[in-house]
Amino acid sequence: MFRIMSLNVLCWGEGENSIEKRIPRVIEIIKKYAPSSFGVQEAHKQWIDALAAGLPGYDYAGVGRDDGKEKGEYAAVFYLRDKFTASDYGNFWISETPDVPSKGWDSACTRIATYVKLTDRETGKEYVHFNTHLDHIGVVAQINGAKMIMEKAASFGGVPVVATGDFNVLQGSDCYNTMISANLADARTLAPDSDDCFTFHWFRPEEYHDIIDFIFVDRDTVRPVKFKVINEKVDGKFYSDHYAIYADIEIN
C-alpha cells in the first residue's frame, strides 16, 4: 500500500496565514498523514527549503519553473528516501517548447510538470508520480497540459502512474475530461472509501468551496482503496488556502 498526497501550499500569506506561520502547520499535516510520496504546488524556494528541513526523511525532485533551477514556483515531488529508489525524474513545461522554461498557448503564467519514477526497495513495486499546477486562466493550456501529462505517462510503457496537482478546473471541465479520456481515472470517484469535500477555500470555506485538486491514477495498474480530503485545521488555524488530499493505493 502506498499513500499519495497533493497539497497547494500557497506561495504567499499575511498575518496568521503568513508563510512563516503556516510552514509548521503544513509540516505537521504531512507528518501526521505520512505519505509515501507527495506533490506540492506554489512551493517557491523558501517553501522547498523549509519542507526539506522539516521533513528530513524525504528527498524531492523538481526545479523552479521560471529558470529551470531555483527561481519561481516548483511542482516538486517529495518521496521517502529510505523507502524508494528514484531511477528516473524530470520536468517539462506546459508549452510548445516543453524542454525550456516557457509559457504556452493562452496561459497567464509559466507552468511546469515534474515526475519521478519510484521503486520500493523492499517489494520492487514501482510507480511514476507526476505533479503539476495547471494555469488558472488558459483553457487551451489546461487541456494541452493534460494531454502532455498523458503522453509522457504513456511513454513509461505500462509502469503504474499517479498524477497529482492543482488543476485549476472542476470535474466535468474539458481539461478534467481529457485527463480521464484514456487510461487515467480520478481516485476520488474510483476509491470505494471516499468523500466529496471541496479542496479550495481561500481561507473562507463558507464562500469558496471548489474541487480543483485531484489525484489521477492508471486505471489498469493502480487501485485506489481510500481517498480523503484533509479538511482540518492545525491548532485552530488553516495550513493553506487548499486542503491537502491523499489516496491510499495498491499496485497490481
Beta carbons of 146 and 177 less than 8 angstroms apart: no
Nearest by Cα to 216 from 178, 243, 252, 242: 178
How many angstroms separate the CA atoms of 68 and 208, rounded?
33
Write down the mean pLDDT value for the chain: 97
Question: How many structural domains are present in the chain?
Answer: 1
pLDDT for 134? 98
Element (H, E) at 17: none
Element (H, E) at 144: helix 139-154
Write the pLDDT tens digit of every residue in 28-39.
999 999 999 999
CATH of the domain at 226: 3.60.10.10
Q: pLDDT band at residue 232, thresholds of 50, 70 and 90?
A: very high
Q: pLDDT band at residue 175, thresholds of 50, 70 and 90?
A: very high
| Chain mean position to CA 247 | 12
Write the pLDDT tens digit of every residue in 180-198.
999 999 999 999 999 999 9
Please give the grid coordinates belonging to residue 195: 468523500
Write the pLDDT tens digit of every residue in 77-87.
999 999 999 98
Write the pLDDT tens digit of every residue in 133-160.
999 999 999 999 999 999 999 999 999 9
Q: pLDDT band at residue 47, thresholds of 50, 70 and 90?
A: very high
In terms of residue numbers, what domain contains 113?
Answer: 2-251
